[in-house]
């Protein structure tokens, strides 16, 4: 009870308050910056746990001969090959700056097995996944952008103005407007929308989020939120 | 709950003591410097960063408001909070998943535990898991950071215990996939198509994957509830999900769902912060406008400078 | 045979036939050429007055004089190979790279496999999904090891090892960094304790530390650079005075500017009203909140419009990869002609 | 089944197919014919051209490369054209990067533009690449007080203080223009917040951003930001203007953004069409229900 609930709560409170106070004390101002490194190192060490979870899940699938266990085998194979090749810096030539260091070389170029895997497997796979978005945007535009009410109409009307104003189509459609009405040309209209409505909306969202973050942080630092991952009452 | 032992464990008291110690230590350092032991040029500067005093005042102000409202709530004056439709729908979504015998999918964003949105997302996962344990629904939570996996397991285990269903906790349902954004998206997208969860929750920090998830969720007919503070992704969630928690609402979600008076009190504190900012903006803009219209009134200019200083200007 | 499988087989056969046709015509397709570079370094030891030796390296042209040598390959445009072959068919300066050519075809296969998900979940997509999960999980662990653990943790705690094997130019760290790395090691060790059969609860401690520090850091950064800065930005005069020609005020622009400023202030206040939690959205508050929602919706519409541009550019980049790098159908960068 | 019902229950794969055609078609067309869609530059692009044009010859420009290869598709054409105009105007270009891979991109851009087309410019005198520095906005705060402390060496390892191009440079205020091509954090927003605001008007800034970032930058334009190029569209407008000013037949690398606008144009038109059709269905449905 004490070990699993009370101490974590106190660790969170003490460390959080200390870092909060350090922001105002000159000799301690760098604490926050140092935390980034500390956190990254903890996260890198903890990746052992992630690897364990990944291996366990896929080994279980293979040993139970679950549906699609062959794909679990592919996960395991590609994971282990990439890990061994990358950690061992296999096939990496020495660094130009200090050729004597046996692990000094970089493995970015497609010369090296790790670089090859990155360039010919990871990049095409992840960037194509990213590119799928263009298709989903299209299907969302057709299905979800309906003028059901005033609010939805405003959203889609603005999207319309921006989409048209950002291609040559906008110039064709409204370029004929005379100089005195040039403010109504789509490309200018999109600038006004951005400068006035978008500025106001974004500002309110940002202020709201700042307050939300402050309240969430305070709930942790004051020990009010007992369900947050920092322990506390259960 | 018995309150007596709480008083001794009151974190605020301890926080105040700690702050005192830190400031005391800082002063000691300064005395050290003054004595010439460490004759750094910074010795002439104050140990406290005065430029940040307005910031300190804002944080102390919001903190004090939080304490006051929590205290009031504990004294039996629970605040009234407006209805948030997206949160009213949480129970309904989990209930539907139970009826259909399909899992609930929960994505706590794609960032690590050093992002406060992830912390809020994992807290929400705890809430959802508790309801799911009560309804006997299963919650699947693939994650893309090892630390988030550990935190999520902690939160879900605690929720299952709190719901009196320790047996409902199955750590393997919360599993790590990969740190890579689109590797994770590929996995979750495929999983959605194959397992067809009945309810999908997206609560945390999201980037481009927001639309891939919500469009896939839509095509399998799941109820989708999203919450994020990433303003560039909000339009996609608003368009493609059934309910969306916008920015600040997302941070209020866990307190709202808890229904505990303490936590609802913190929402009131959030509101008082908002009202304070709004007042500063109105008065500040009015004073600045009056200053432009009446350039001869120098006191308006001075007042304006003072107000801007309070905002860190 | 069901209809879907038949569809897939027909698509596959037609596609393969088209590929064969493409391979037989013109310059062919999908090959990568490389240029070899021999790298040789000679070791130079210099002794200073105190007798201490310093080691440096010099790039040398002749392989015989070198202490360390290796080869590097860089991609050459196909037109360079065409030109070299035309001049001397037996040349070896620019050659076909089998590993990279196979890689290119693999990349094309993966691209198509992911696209096939748009049709339906299928075996190709599952294969691509399994590969990307395995490869990328390991990729980030390797990056975490070589780019975080080695230069931060090991460099602070075991600098001699890092200097000897990875980075001889490593500088000693200061006390603060040493302590933060020692703390990271202890907390990381506590996290890993989860793998032990007993006492896994200790893993909650580093998590609590991370959550606490994150809360402390974020409250400062958000209140300072978001709440206060955005509030400050709104505390400007609503009346805009735009100077026109000849010292006079440009009335038209000033009126427009004033209107714009007023709309911004109204928008910020009404949208913030929407976020109020402890007041029911009825009456005046409800009306104001509704105006706030209009502003939010316009903001979202604008974000949508702008985001779409980037998404189409990404898809275009994948198609360019297929048409240009792989199929050699188009040549916008004049790599082959 | 009526047309409305059929459209209402349209399989989304048809929409996917339309999108594929709308993007792939123009790429093939523009790749095979070498032509690009027409471009009509807007005021924002003109202003960028003007800001650079207004600087006297020999002025220093700080060029920050805050992006990585993942967003190079959207941003590289901007960086290329911006550097081309600076070089053509004989401004002295100092490249820096706050993103780890930005230093390499600066090097590539220098090779592609300056070394290829302006061979008379000398490294260290007319241009220099000071490479990447870690520390995000921390670096920005340092350049405000001591520029060479933040960037002590150039990419070749020479001390920045000894470089002729930096002679007399104390702080970032000694650069009349800051050009920033940015894909996120740290980027344009931070440069405005920490450097432009603090320089009290002595540093003008031009930003080139991705589409996702642009809405967040508009609040600063045209106040603290002297020029803003948003996404590939902004790049294409500016590229078009610059090609007009420079004259002659532009090399393929100077048409990259305009070429990429071909799929954009059709993609956008398709989206607009889809929204219209979707709403027509909705409208027809409502009328049907009322009848």
In a domain, A156, yes or no: yes
With a CB-CB cutoff of 8 Å, which residues 47-66 of chain C face chain B? none
Residue that is written with structure tokens 């409202």 in the block: B69
pLDDT at residue B24, as a whole number: 57
Cα–Cα dist C241/C249, whole Å: 7
Interface A–C counts its CB contacts (< 8 A) at 434
Using only C-alpha atoms, what is the Rg of chain B?
24
d(CA B311, CA B54): 7
List pLDDT tens digits, range D218-264. Answer: 777 777 788 999 888 889 999 999 999 998 888 888 988 998 889 98
Classify residue C117 by its DSSP letter: G
| Interface check C271 vs A, CB under 8 A | yes
pLDDT of residue D287: 66
Comparing CB atoms, the residue among D19, D277, D282 nearest residue A135 is: D19
Which of B143, B197, B133 lies closest to B172 in space, CA to CA? Answer: B143
Q: How far is CA D8 from CA A144, D21, D280, in A?
A: 12, 22, 10
Partners of C221 in the β-ladder = none
Candidates C22, C146, C309: best to mutate against D (most CBs of D within 10 A) is C309
Q: Please state the length of chain D.
A: 291
Return the number of CB contacts < 8 Å for B and D.
5
Q: Does A187 touch chain D (CB under 8 A)?
A: yes
CB contact under 8 A, B146 and A155: no
E-strand ranges in D169-236 read 177-182, 204-209, 227-230
Interface probe, candidates A227, A228, A231, A233, chain B, greatest B C-beta count within 10 A = A227
pLDDT in tens, C268-325: 999 999 999 999 999 999 999 999 999 999 999 988 888 887 788 889 989 999 999 9
Tell me the two tokens of residue D186: 């740290």
For residue A190, what pLDDT band results from cuts at 50, 70 and 90?
Answer: confident
> Which token pair is C157?
């705690």
* 3 state SS of C281: coil
What is the tens place of the pLDDT at every residue in A60-87? 999 999 999 999 999 999 999 999 999 9
User: Which pLDDT belongs to residue B35?
Assistant: 46
User: Residue D105: pLDDT above 80?
Assistant: yes
CB count in 10 Å sphere of residue B19: 15
pLDDT by position in tens, chain B (length 313): 333 344 444 555 555 655 665 555 555 554 444 444 444 444 456 888 888 899 999 999 999 999 999 999 988 887 889 999 999 999 999 999 999 999 999 999 999 998 999 999 999 999 999 999 999 999 999 999 999 999 999 999 999 999 999 999 999 999 999 999 999 999 999 999 999 999 999 999 998 899 999 999 999 999 999 999 988 899 999 989 999 999 999 999 989 998 888 889 999 999 999 999 999 999 999 999 999 999 888 999 999 999 999 988 7
Contact C220 A32 (CB under 8 A): yes
The yes-or-no verdict on residue A194 having pLDDT over 50 is yes
For residue A206, being part of any structural domain is answered with yes
pLDDT of residue D288: 59
Question: How far is it, in rounded angstroms, from Cα C301 to Cα A157?
Answer: 7
pLDDT for res B41: 44
Range of the domain at A183: 145-227
Task: Give mean pLDDT, residues D175-190.
Answer: 90
Torsions phi, psi of A25, nearest 5? -110, 120
Q: How many CA atoms lie within 13 A of A201 on its CB side?
A: 29
Q: Cα–Cα distance between C332 and D159 in angstroms, integer? A: 40
Rounded CA separation B138/B140 (Å): 7
**Sign of the C-alpha dihedral, residues B211, B212, B213, B217?**
positive
- The reported pTM is 0.90
> Does residue A199 sit within a domain?
yes
Q: Which residues of A touch B186 (CB under 8 A)?
A: 125, 129
Mean pLDDT of chain D: 87
The residue behind tokens 């020029």 is: D227
> What are the backbone dihedrals phi and psi of residue D265, each rounded to the nearest 5 degrees, phi first?
-55, -50
Q: What is the pLDDT of residues C6-63, one digit of tens each?
A: 888 898 899 999 999 988 888 889 999 999 888 899 988 888 888 888 888 888 887 7
Distance, in Å, from the CA atom of B156 to the CA atom of B148, rounded to the nearest integer, reads: 12
- Asked if residue A185 belongs to a domain, the reply is yes
Contacts of B182 in chain D (CB under 8 A): none
Percentage of residues in chain C with pLDDT exceeding 90?
55
**Higher pLDDT pick, D56 / B78:** D56
Domain membership flag for residue A159: yes
The confidence score (pLDDT) of residue B204 equals 95
CB contact set of B245 (below 8 Å; sequence gap of 6+)? B84, B86, B87, B203, B225, B226, B227, B228, B253
Token digits of residue D57:
């010859």
Coil, strand or helix: which one is C91? coil
Quote the number of domains for chain A: 1
Residue labelled with tokens 């490479």: D131
pLDDT in tens, D125-166: 999 999 888 777 778 878 888 888 888 878 776 778 889 999
Tens-digit pLDDT profile for residues B177-232: 999 999 999 999 999 999 999 999 999 999 889 999 999 999 999 999 999 998 88
Give the confidence band of D103 by pLDDT, cuts at 50, 70, 90.
confident
Whether C215 has its CB under 8 Å from any CB of chain A: the answer is yes
Q: Flag whether A102 is in a domain.
A: no
The chain A residue lying nearest C37, using CA atoms, is: A111
- How far apart CA D121 and CA D114 sit, in angstroms, is 7
Which strands form B199-203's sheet, in the order they lie side by side? B174-176, B139-143, B104-107, B199-203, B223-228, B243-246
| Out of C125, C133, C299, closest to residue B178 by CB | C133
Say if the Cβ atoms of B177 and A54 lie within 8 Å. Answer: yes
HSE of D197, CA atoms in CB hemisphere, 13 A: 15
Q: At what angle do helices A150-165 and C283-320 cross, to 10 degrees?
A: 40
Residue D150 and residue D130 in contact, taking contact as beta carbons nearer than 8 Å: no
Per-residue tokens: D153: 């060496």
Which pair of structure tokens corresponds to residue D18? 């339309």
Select the residue of D70, D221, D272 nearest A164 (Cβ to Cβ).
Answer: D272
Give the pLDDT mean for C212-230: 90
Using CB atoms and an 8 Å cut-off, which of residues 224-243 of chain B contact chain D?
231-232
Test C129 with B187 for CB contact under 8 angstroms. Answer: yes
Q: For D206, phi and psi rounded to 5 degrees?
A: -115, 130
3-class SS shares of chain D: helix, strand, coil, % to 5? 60, 15, 30
Tell which of C115, C310, C321, C329 to mutate to test the D interface (max D CBs under 10 Å).
C310
* Neighbouring C-beta atoms of residue D138, cutoff 10 Å: 15
For the cut 90, the answer to whether the pLDDT of residue D52 exceeds it is yes
Long-range interactions of C171-175: CB distance < 8 A, separation 24+: none
DSSP 8-state class, residue C331 = -
Interatomic CA distance for residues D161 and C17, integer angstroms: 63
Helix, strand, or coil here: C198?
A: coil
Beta bridge partners of residue C44, listed in sequence order = C56
Chain B partners within 8 Å of C141 (Cβ): 179
Largest Cα span, chain B: 75
**Among C132, B147, C30, C21, residue whose Cα is nearest residue A132:** C132
In a domain, A157, yes or no: yes
> Residue C20: which residues within 8 A CB-CB, separation 6 or more?
none
The CB density around residue C122, as the number of other CB atoms within 10 Å, is 15
The answer to whether position A158 is within a domain reads: yes
- Distance between alpha carbon B247 and the CA centroid of its chain, in Å? 9
C228-270 pLDDT per residue, tens: 988 998 998 999 888 877 778 888 888 988 999 999 999 999 9
């Amino acid at each position: 009870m004490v070990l699993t609930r009370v101490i974590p709560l106190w660790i969170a409170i003490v460390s959080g308050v200390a870092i909060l106070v350090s922001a105002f004390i000159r000799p301690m101002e760098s604490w926050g910056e140092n935390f980034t490194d500390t956190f990254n190192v903890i996260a890198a060490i903890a990746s052992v746990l992630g690897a364990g979870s990944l291996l366990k899940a896929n080994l279980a699938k293979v040993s139970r001969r679950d549906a699609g266990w062959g794909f679990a085998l592919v996960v395991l194979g590609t994971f282990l090959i990439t890990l061994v090749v990358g950690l061992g810096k296999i096939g990496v030539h020495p660094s130009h700056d200090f050729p004597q260091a046996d692990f000094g070389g970089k493995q970015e170029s497609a010369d090296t097995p790790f670089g090859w895997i990155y360039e010919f497997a990871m990049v095409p796979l992840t960037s194509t996944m990213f590119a799928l978005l263009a298709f989903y945007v299209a299907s969302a535009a057709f299905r979800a952008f309906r003028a059901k009410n005033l609010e939805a109409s405003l959203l889609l009307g603005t999207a319309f103005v921006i989409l048209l104003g950002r291609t040559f189509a906008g110039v064709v459609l409204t370029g004929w407007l005379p100089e005195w009405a040039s403010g109504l040309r789509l490309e200018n209209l999109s600038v006004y929308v951005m400068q006035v409505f978008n500025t106001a909306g974004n500002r309110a969202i940002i202020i709201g989020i700042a307050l939300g973050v402050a309240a969430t942080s305070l709930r942790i630092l004051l020990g009010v939120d007992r369900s947050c991952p920092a322990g506390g009452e259960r | 709950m018995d309150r007596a032992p709480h008083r001794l464990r009151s974190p605020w008291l301890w926080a105040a003591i700690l702050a005192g110690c830190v400031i005391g230590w800082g002063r000691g350092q300064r005395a050290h410097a003054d004595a010439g032991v460490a004759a750094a040029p910074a010795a002439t500067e104050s140990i406290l960063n005065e430029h940040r005093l307005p910031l300190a005042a804002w944080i102390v102000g919001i903190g004090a408001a939080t304490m006051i409202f929590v205290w009031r709530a504990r004294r039996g004056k629970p605040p009234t909070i407006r209805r948030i439709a997206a949160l009213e729908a949480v129970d309904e979504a989990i209930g539907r998943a139970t009826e259909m015998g399909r899992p609930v999918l929960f994505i706590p964003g794609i960032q690590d535990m050093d992002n406060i949105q992830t912390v809020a997302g994992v807290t929400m996962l705890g809430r959802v898991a508790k309801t799911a344990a009560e309804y006997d629904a299963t919650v699947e939570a693939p994650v893309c950071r090892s630390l988030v996996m550990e935190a999520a397991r902690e939160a879900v285990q605690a929720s299952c215990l709190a719901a009196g269903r320790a047996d409902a906790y199955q750590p393997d349902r919360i599993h790590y996939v990969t740190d890579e954004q689109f590797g994770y998206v590929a996995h979750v997208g495929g999983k959605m198509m194959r397992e067809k969860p009945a309810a999908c929750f997206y609560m945390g920090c999201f980037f481009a994957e927001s639309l891939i998830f919500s469009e896939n969720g839509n095509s399998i007919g799941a109820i989708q509830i999203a919450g994020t503070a990433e303003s560039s992704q909000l339009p996609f969630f608003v368009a493609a999900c059934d309910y969306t928690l916008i920015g600040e609402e997302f941070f209020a979600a866990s307190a709202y769902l808890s229904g505990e008076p303490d936590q609802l009190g913190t929402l009131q504190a959030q509101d008082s912060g908002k009202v304070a900012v709004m007042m500063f903006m109105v008065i500040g803009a009015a004073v600045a406008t009056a200053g432009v219209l009446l350039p001869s009134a120098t006191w308006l200019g001075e007042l304006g400078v003072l107000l801007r200083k309070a905002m860190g200007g | 045979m069901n209809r879907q499988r038949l569809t897939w087989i027909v698509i596959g056969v037609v596609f393969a036939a088209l590929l064969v046709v493409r391979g037989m015509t013109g310059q062919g397709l999908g090959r990568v050429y490389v240029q070899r570079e021999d790298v040789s370094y000679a070791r130079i030891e210099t002794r200073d007055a105190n007798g201490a030796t310093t080691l440096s390296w010099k790039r040398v042209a002749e392989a015989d004089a070198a202490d360390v040598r290796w080869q590097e390959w860089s991609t050459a445009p196909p037109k360079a190979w065409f030109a070299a072959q035309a001049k001397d068919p037996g040349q070896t300066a620019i050659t076909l790279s089998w590993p990279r050519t196979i890689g290119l075809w693999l990349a094309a296969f993966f691209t198509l496999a992911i696209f096939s998900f748009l049709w339906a979940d299928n075996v190709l997509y599952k294969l691509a999904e399994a590969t990307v999960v395995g490869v990328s999980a390991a990729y980030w662990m390797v990056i975490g090891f070589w780019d975080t653990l080695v230069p931060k943790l090991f460099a602070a705690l075991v600098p001699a090892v890092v200097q000897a094997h990875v980075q001889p130019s490593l500088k000693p760290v200061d006390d603060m960094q040493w302590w933060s790395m020692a703390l990271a090691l202890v907390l990381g060790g506590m996290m890993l304790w989860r793998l032990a059969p007993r006492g896994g609860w200790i893993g909650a401690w580093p998590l609590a530390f991370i959550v606490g520090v994150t809360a402390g850091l974020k409250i400062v950064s958000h209140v300072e650079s978001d709440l206060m800065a955005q509030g400050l930005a709104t505390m400007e005069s609503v009346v805009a005075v735009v100077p026109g020609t000849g010292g006079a005020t440009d009335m038209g622009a000033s009126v427009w500017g004033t209107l714009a400023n007023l709309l911004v202030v109204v928008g910020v206040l009404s949208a913030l009203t929407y976020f109020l939690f402890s007041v029911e959205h009825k009456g005046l508050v409800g009306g104001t909140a509704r105006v706030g929602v209009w502003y939010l919706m316009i903001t979202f519409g604008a974000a949508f419009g702008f985001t779409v541009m980037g998404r189409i550019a990404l898809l275009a980049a994948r198609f360019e990869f297929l048409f240009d790098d792989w199929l050699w159908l188009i040549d916008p960068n004049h790599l082959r002609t | 089944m009526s047309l409305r019902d059929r459209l209402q229950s349209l399989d989304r794969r048809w929409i996917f197919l339309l999108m594929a055609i709308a993007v792939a078609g123009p790429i093939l067309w523009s790749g095979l014919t070498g032509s690009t869609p027409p471009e009509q530059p807007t005021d924002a692009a003109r202003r960028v051209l003007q800001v650079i044009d207004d600087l006297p010859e020999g002025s220093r420009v700080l060029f920050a490369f805050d992006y990585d290869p993942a967003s190079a598709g959207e941003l590289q054409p901007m960086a290329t054209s911006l550097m081309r105009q600076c070089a053509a105007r004989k401004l002295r270009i100092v490249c820096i990067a706050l993103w780890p891979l930005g230093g390499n991109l600066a090097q590539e851009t220098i090779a592609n533009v300056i070394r290829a087309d302006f061979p008379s410019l000398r490294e260290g005198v007319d241009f220099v690449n000071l490479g990447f520095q870690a520390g995000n906005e921390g670096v920005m705060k340092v350049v405000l007080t001591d520029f060479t402390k933040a960037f002590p060496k150039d990419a070749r390892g020479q001390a920045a203080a000894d470089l002729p191009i930096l002679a007399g440079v104390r702080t970032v205020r000694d650069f009349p223009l800051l050009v920033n091509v940015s894909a996120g954090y740290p980027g344009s927003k931070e440069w405005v917040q920490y450097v432009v605001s603090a320089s009290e008007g002595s540093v003008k800034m031009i930003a080139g951003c991705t589409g996702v970032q642009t809405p967040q930058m508009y609040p600063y334009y045209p106040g603290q930001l002297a020029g803003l190029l948003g996404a590939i569209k902004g790049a294409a407008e500016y590229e078009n203007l610059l090609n007009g000013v420079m004259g002659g037949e532009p090399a393929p690398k100077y048409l990259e953004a305009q070429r990429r606008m071909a799929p954009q144009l059709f993609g956008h038109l398709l989206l607009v069409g889809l929204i219209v059709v979707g709403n027509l269905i909705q409208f027809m449905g409502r009328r049907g229900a009322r009848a």
